């Protein structure tokens, strides 16, 4: 049985990935880790270790202690926070990746999941149905780290045979753990505010269309790509994946079907400039063909689930 380490397990995706992997592989085989005890649901759900993703020794000690063979590296500084702290974003996102790539190269681990993002694309990328292989000139530090990281993943696979797999996540919508520091975070905040306040001020303009995905689909994609046979994974940088695209206005309309009095206002801030450089929709045919990726949730079914779960949470 494979032994798994999740680095960055307290975050929005890391937390739900931890719960899912524990369900599939058993609690004892899935070690959650983060730099601090920031999510008690994760900390209390099984074995938890403090690991500093930027410290090679800290990662290696945990890997050796638990005989880890598979690492999901979910720690990262996202797009909006990365613009505030460019060098910190560069250091965190790159150091942590090099540590796990080198641990695989040195034979300590066998398999890596590393998340990329639609942030690898930029203003010169075609915005509609953005292809897997296309112009990539990201303008955020986060996007640069993801683009460069993809190249390094591909390099370590070709040069050293490292089994590394990646996905370019769109904006991820979920109800368990809040996202932090991203440009797509509005699509989560809006649901919370719709229920608690009946109104939301969007930091993106009403017609800003972005690719998005419900968490369950994102987790399924992550598990599927890692369960696929190595020969099925033809792309070792990261795969495009897609589920839906919408604007803040369309999202507000979907919420209004459940909460008729809900109102939205628009006050775009610096995150608008980032969103304006990202694709509106994504061509994910390579993922669908190579490892049978498919999504289940659209805007309507995601909204049903978000409202249902958040109403229970705030009751």
Residues within the interface to ligand AKB (CB under 6 A): 78-79, 117-119, 142, 169, 171, 182-184
Cβ proximity to ligand AKB: between 58 and 140 the closer is: 140
Concerning whether 314 is annotated as a catalytic residue, the answer is no
> Minimum distance from CB of 50 to ligand AKB (Å)?
25
CA distance 109 to 71: 8
The strand ranges marked E within the chain are 4-7, 30-34, 48-50, 70-73, 111-117, 163-169, 171-173, 199-202, 210-214, 239-240, 244-246, 263-266
> Minimum distance from CB of 83 to ligand AKB (Å)?
10
CB 204 within 8 A of CB 246: no
Bridge partner residues of 4 (DSSP): 30, 70
Q: 275, exposed or middle or buried, with CB in 10 Å at 0-12, 13-18, 19+?
A: buried
Cβ proximity to ligand AKB: between 67 and 267 the closer is: 267
Cβ proximity to ligand AKB: between 10 and 78 the closer is: 78
> Minimum distance from CB of 211 to ligand AKB (Å)?
8
Closest residue to ligand AKB, based on beta-carbon distance? 182
Of 142, 156, 186, 239, catalytic: 142
Cβ proximity to ligand AKB: between 78 and 92 the closer is: 78
Strands 30-34 and 48-50: parallel
Contacts of 237 (CB under 8 A, 6+ apart): 116, 150, 151, 153, 154, 166
> Minimum distance from CB of 171 to ligand AKB (Å)?
5
| Catalytic machinery residues | 142
């Amino acid at each position: 049985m494979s032994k798994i380490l999740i680095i960055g397990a307290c975050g929005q995706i890391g937390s739900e990935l931890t719960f899912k992997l524990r369900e599939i592989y058993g609690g004892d085989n899935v070690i959650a880790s983060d730099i601090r005890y920031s999510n008690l649901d994760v900390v209390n759900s099984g074995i938890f270790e403090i690991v500093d993703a930027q410290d090679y020794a800290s990662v290696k000690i945990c890997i050796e202690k638990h005989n880890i063979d598979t690492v999901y590296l979910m720690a990262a500084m996202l797009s909006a926070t990365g613009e505030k702290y460019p060098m910190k974003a560069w250091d965190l996102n790159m150091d942590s990746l090099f540590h796990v790539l080198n641990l695989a190269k040195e034979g300590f681990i066998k398999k890596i999941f590393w998340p990329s993002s639609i942030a690898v694309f930029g203003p010169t990328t075609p915005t509609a149905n953005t292809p897997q292989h296309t112009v990539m000139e990201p303008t955020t530090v986060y996007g640069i780290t993801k683009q460069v990281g993809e190249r390094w993943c591909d390099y370590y696979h070709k040069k050293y045979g490292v089994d590394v797999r990646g996905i370019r996540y769109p904006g991820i919508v979920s109800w368990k753990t809040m996202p932090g520091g991203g440009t797509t975070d509005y699509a989560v905040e809006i649901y919370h505010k719709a229920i608690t306040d009946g109104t939301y001020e969007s930091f993106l303009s009403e017609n800003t269309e972005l690719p998005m995905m419900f968490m369950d689909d994102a987790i399924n994609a992550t598990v599927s790509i890692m369960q696929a046979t190595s020969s099925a994974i033809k792309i070792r940088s990261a795969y495009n994946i897609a589920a839906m695209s919408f604007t803040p206005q369309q999202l507000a309309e979907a919420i209004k079907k459940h909460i008729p009095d809900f109102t939205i206002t628009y006050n775009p801030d610096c995150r608008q400039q980032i969103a304006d450089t990202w694709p509106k929709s994504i061509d994910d045919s390579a993922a669908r063909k190579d490892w049978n990726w498919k999504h289940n949730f659209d805007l309507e079914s995601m909204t049903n689930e978000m409202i249902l779960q958040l109403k229970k949470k705030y009751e």
